[in-house]
Structure 1
């Protein structure tokens, strides 16, 4: 199947306003909100969705577990919201949104988040309802570090730390965090297991009893999550900078009582390379070249339920995104003009298998997502002009997108 996605135009006028909320500052500019200091100590949870929900009025969440909650932006959800981490596109592998894009970065590693409402971001592919741009911490040449220990309700525990330093030419940063939490309870004091037991007891379908948590998994921890991020920035010349970064997220045994399966693990790896050149000529105030690759593995299973005590089913899913973007900015005609090209390729694959508990034997049964590949090539241009406290932005983007499955490719 081949799709050509139309030319889109965006015109936005905005007035500046600023609001300070304790240690977190929220700056509003028209339909865009910038949330800074999001890694502040008052945010006990590492869940980015939770942090945005508490601080951005237009953001709500779908709470399905103790972590990895999904966001709604002005009522819109799923892939209608474009999420990037330092410019890299990250997709969840689960079709049921157990691992939304915002779950692949933790608040401890974040510098600020730009939330833009509406289809005004012409620099990114697929921005139909809004965008969330996550910017992680940058290394500094001064040697410094921080260590944080947090604890909260429902056996929540978190430890995180960052160290950064370097010289005028080379700077590095390493950040890590670990957290775990128990099953949160409802207003009646019932945890996940008890809520699910009460629900299945109230339904007429006898088969629902298969999806309650097994005796051995009653009261099981709701999740465990570890994050590691490393960055190296190199100043090649006074006006050329090379940025390299790698982020790894490892979540284990995430419980989802509202669905028949839980996540055995959610693993993601994000590789990012950026090359920035400034003041090359009168025609280039700043040239940015970026390449990235993100991979996500997400197997969800009935292993912890009554249905999985003899044999359990696993729905194993993977997704990988690779992208390249080149953009140039120039001051001309009394305004800032940015134009460029970007391309991306996403692969999404998944299938079911059954594991026999006694022997450990695994049998593959059927495909669920048959090696789907989405390729996109986009051209964009935008202009921004400052008129006192008024900012006027005009932009346009053209996308050409193709989607193919393994069946179509083989034929």
Structure 2
């Protein structure tokens, strides 16, 4: 909790504004921690922020974080056929977007079509999601050039008296015959708190809108989270956190390919592939986190607050390739991505309307992938290949941010310096030099103007960066998008210079936000198709992404509201060799709906999502692999009832939902399957979205 005078002024003003509408429900302005590094009102932030609260998360039948964010302003999704649906922020995706889980970065540096980093946490254990759209490198360093997604997991609070509280959630979805369950409990007192929660999901293959089952689209998930907090003295707290999230039987269907004949290149010229249907999959993926944290109010003339964190996070995943006709794996690999890091942040208030944030951060990612491959004629995976030996990515950075809260203005200035070093003892098929160090300066400047309640404009200019990932530098290997990728250890970091102008406000019973932006990216990193089924990881000279976003929420009274939000986006590859649309840009879209909410009794929600066609494709860069996508419209609906205390429960609710009500058969544009590989007769299906699904969910607190 932020304790500076400016925070007190901001929150007091928000409450006063709500009380001024005494005949209306009191709804406080949304608060963000991610955007500024401390608790602040979104209205005081010179950036676009999505905040998804626990009530909304519980109402949605989502497999992954990407499902929860689908259709949000400025956010789209990438599909590879697995349970992992990748969030895209303003046209930037995967390693261009930083994923945090409880403030800890997730580093797996995964190549395309190998699952979403945001899927390494079970949806039922999420309390809140904050999405900051636009560069966030000043506070978070490498990878935050496109935005930041902070996933906050569930937990209790200190209580004046010893107390035990808990919750549970059970659900079923018809489209995949999926069952889910979760339970959590909190044991609390005035000085100690213990949180324990667990969740599981067992989903089968889902049906598309055409009624066809998408083979191997099911998955199993399990999670166990533990957190202990202790108040050492007023204003001083220590926290220990342990988390394990596990997924099993995840098939990356974008990799699926049918071969009439085996691929048997000359010795030393490549890997063998058997004839028949081949698919990349992982029998298991597991994230283990151990974190220790201290938060202290040190006081003094500048109201000093200190936050220190050290952590170890291991991402373990299997990378296997399966042949249907032989009913065997022909390539296997089990890899640990081991990240150790720490962060120290000091918050100072040299003046009641002035907040200074300073800090240091360091982390190291290590991985040494080994693959066992098979060769013709039996393709038994018994030949050992050391893909990367002692691969390391190390980052060290210092940052400073200054927030000045004036009478009608909030001004934010920030800067950060990072050194990111990549190294490896050896890498298969990659020539020296392997080592490279990037020296990165990030900066931001923004201002918000509290002109009046109906119009609060803001503007920002910032530059973020992303250094190439471990696998982009060193892994020359067949990826699960069906291409053989050639790595490049000397890739330059990509840099995003972004300008944004927007406004927020409330006019009567209507709240709105609007933003327009332009991002100019130097040394954009991508995979250029240089031959059939071969991609080279390259730096493009420059790229430009322009966009506009809005959201409107109108209070109709008695808990009924109407809402709408939309995104317009256009990306251009400005490299002189191409001069064409930027690869895999999501199309524009619009969502509208009505919602009825109440503390007790009936509640319902209906929403339509209309997505435009996308015919701007990167034909030269992708070698014709990017497909045009027709537009589509889907409708979702839900109705539920909230019960008061009964049968020993503090409250519970039952919700019936229908997703894709009219059973539309469609696909998202950012989709790794290519037209050349689709072969339904031989088992290569297009990656169509789930069709109509009826869901039933029960949630209770005790």
Q: 1:169 to 1:97 in 2, by over 3 A?
A: farther
Cα distance between partner residues in 1 of 2:295 and 2:115:
32
Q: Which deviations, in whole Å up to 9, do the C-alpha atoms of 1:272-302 show, x marking residues without a partner?
A: 1110111342245210100111111111223
Following superposition, the deviation at residue 91 of structure 1 comes to 2.0
Q: 1:106 to 1:386 in 2, by over 3 A?
A: farther
Following superposition, the deviation at residue 39 of structure 1 comes to 6.6
The equivalent residue for 2:80 is 64
Gaps of 5+ in 2: 1-13, 19-26, 32-41, 256-278, 427-431, 436-702
Aligned 8 A contact 2:57 2:68 in 1: no
Cα distance between partner residues in 2 of 1:374 and 1:277:
31
Gaps of 5+ in 1: 1-15, 194-219
Cα distance between partner residues in 2 of 1:389 and 1:266:
50
Q: 1:42 to 1:310 in 2, by over 3 A?
A: closer
Cα distance between partner residues in 2 of 1:119 and 1:234:
35
Cα distance between partner residues in 2 of 1:311 and 1:136:
36
The equivalent residue for 1:309 is 327
Cα distance between partner residues in 2 of 1:68 and 1:26:
28
2:349 is aligned, of 327, 331, 353, to 331
The equivalent residue for 2:199 is 177
* 1:224 and 2:245 correspond: no
* 1:84 and 2:81 correspond: no
Aligned 8 A contact 1:158 1:179 in 2: yes
The equivalent residue for 2:111 is 95
Q: 1:109 to 1:184 in 2, by over 3 A?
A: same
Cα distance between partner residues in 1 of 2:329 and 2:85:
29
The equivalent residue for 1:256 is 252
Q: 1:388 to 1:112 in 2, by over 3 A?
A: farther
Q: 1:190 to 1:288 in 2, by over 3 A?
A: same
3-state SS in 2 of match to 1:102: helix
1:53 is aligned, of 59, 67, 70, to 70
Q: Which has the higher contact order (CA 8 A, sep 6+)?
A: 1
Following superposition, the deviation at residue 389 of structure 1 comes to 6.3
The equivalent residue for 1:115 is 131
Aligned 8 A contact 1:93 1:296 in 2: no
Q: Which deviations, in whole Å up to 9, do the C-alpha atoms of 1:29-51 show, x marking residues without a partner?
A: 43222222267421222411111
2:164 is aligned, of 105, 122, 143, to 143
Following superposition, the deviation at residue 270 of structure 1 comes to 1.1
Cα distance between partner residues in 2 of 1:244 and 1:300:
32
Following superposition, the deviation at residue 404 of structure 1 comes to 0.4
Following superposition, the deviation at residue 347 of structure 1 comes to 1.0
Cα distance between partner residues in 1 of 2:183 and 2:247:
18
Cα distance between partner residues in 2 of 1:117 and 1:263:
31
Cα distance between partner residues in 1 of 2:419 and 2:166:
45
1:238 is aligned, of 234, 238, 253, to 234
Cα distance between partner residues in 1 of 2:211 and 2:93:
30
Following superposition, the deviation at residue 338 of structure 1 comes to 0.5
Following superposition, the deviation at residue 132 of structure 1 comes to 1.0
Q: Which deviations, in whole Å up to 9, do the C-alpha atoms of 1:40-80 show, x marking residues without a partner?
A: 421222411111224x2111111223522111110001211
Q: Which piece of structure 1 moves more, 334-343 or 117-126?
A: 117-126
Aligned 8 A contact 1:328 1:339 in 2: yes
Following superposition, the deviation at residue 136 of structure 1 comes to 1.7
Following superposition, the deviation at residue 326 of structure 1 comes to 0.7
3-state SS in 2 of match to 1:41: helix
3-state SS in 1 of match to 2:95: helix
Q: 1:166 to 1:392 in 2, by over 3 A?
A: same
Which is strand-richer, 1 or 2? 1
Q: 1:311 to 1:46 in 2, by over 3 A?
A: closer
Q: 1:386 to 1:36 in 2, by over 3 A?
A: farther
Cα distance between partner residues in 2 of 1:70 and 1:252:
18
Cα distance between partner residues in 1 of 2:325 and 2:154:
44
Cα distance between partner residues in 2 of 1:26 and 1:297:
36
Q: 1:355 to 1:296 in 2, by over 3 A?
A: farther
Given the two structures, how large is their TM-score scaled by the length of structure 2?
Answer: 0.48
- The residue correspondences of 1:320-359 to structure 2 (distance < 5 A) are 320-333=338-351, 334-354=353-373
* 1:247 and 2:243 correspond: yes
1:377 is aligned, of 396, 408, 422, to 396
3-state SS in 1 of match to 2:118: helix
3-state SS in 1 of match to 2:399: strand
Q: 1:117 to 1:250 in 2, by over 3 A?
A: same
Cα distance between partner residues in 1 of 2:167 and 2:410:
37
Please give the root-mean-square deviation of Cα atoms over the aligned residues, in Å: 2.9
Q: Which piece of structure 1 moves more, 277-286 or 123-132?
A: 277-286
Cα distance between partner residues in 2 of 1:346 and 1:384:
32
Aligned 8 A contact 1:256 1:262 in 2: yes
Q: 1:401 to 1:323 in 2, by over 3 A?
A: same
Structure number with larger C-alpha Rg: 2
Following superposition, the deviation at residue 325 of structure 1 comes to 0.7
The equivalent residue for 1:366 is 385
Following superposition, the deviation at residue 388 of structure 1 comes to 5.1
